[in-house]
Amino acid sequence: MVNTPGTIDAGCGTSASPCRALTTGLQRVTAVRKTVLVRPGNYTEAIDIDGLRVTVIAYGAIIDPVFAGIAGVKVRNTADVVIEGARITGA
């Protein structure tokens, strides 16, 4: 679980203690835990998904990297990625 007023603690990732950043939420993906739920909000970060099988469900979320010319989402070496509902900005 990811939510803009979330935490950066090592134990984040649940509905009771959501992660603040998408990047942190993606770091919690495992062979068993393959879905990241993202609450509505503006996430000012660039996402780099490397080698993961993951579904990101993010209705109402905006992924907007801070720096111009940076891709909002980069997918590489990945077998299976699904991103639902997010608006992604950037180059």
pLDDT of residue 66: 80
Report which of residues 15 and 83 the model is more confident about.
Answer: 83
Residue 64: strand, helix, or coil = coil
Mean pLDDT of the 53-76 span:
89
The partner residues of 2 in beta bridges, in order of sequence, read 19, 38
| Least confident interval from 4-18, 26-40, 68-82 | 4-18
Mean pLDDT of the 2-31 span:
85
Nearest to 63 by CA among 78, 41, 36: 41
pLDDT of residue 15: 86
pLDDT of residue 83: 94
